[in-house]
Each structure stands twice: as structure tokens, then as C-alpha cells.
Amino acid sequence: MFKKGERVRNVVDGKVVEVLKYLKKNLVEVKWFDLRSKEIHTHKVREDKLSKAA
């Protein structure tokens, strides 16, 4: 389990994202900053698709 505010890596696309909150047992809401559009995006990702960021 990841803690709120922890930075983790999305295994699917390799982006480093920040954990916002747990929605369900295996579903996590994360946010990441898009450099091209200069916007913050939020997504819902399964926990098994995330790993610790180095």
C-alpha cells in the first residue's frame, strides 16, 4: 500500500505520479503534471499497475 502524497511510477507509461487517495481496495487516484499543456491531470489507476519511484 502506498501512502497519500507518495510519489510512485506508473508501470504502463512510465510516468511518475503522486498518490491522492484510495478509492477502493485496489483502486488509487493519482495526479501528474503535464509539461506540454501545463495542467495537472488526475487519473484512477489499479494499485498493481504502480511501483515505487526511485
Instruction: Please report the DSSP string for 1-53 in residue order.
Output: -PPTT-EEEETTT--EEEEEEE-SSSEEEEEEEETTTTEEEEEEEEGGGEEE-
Cβ atoms 13, 32 nearer than 8 A: no
pLDDT of 54 > 70? The answer is: no
pLDDT of 52 > 70? The answer is: yes
The pLDDT value recorded for residue 30 is 95
Per-residue pLDDT band for 53 (boundaries 50, 70, 90) equals confident
pLDDT tens-digit series, residues 5-47: 999 999 988 899 999 999 988 999 999 998 899 999 999 999 9
Instruction: Give me the torsion for CA of 54, 21, 38, 7, rounded to 10°.
Output: -10
N residues, the chain: 54
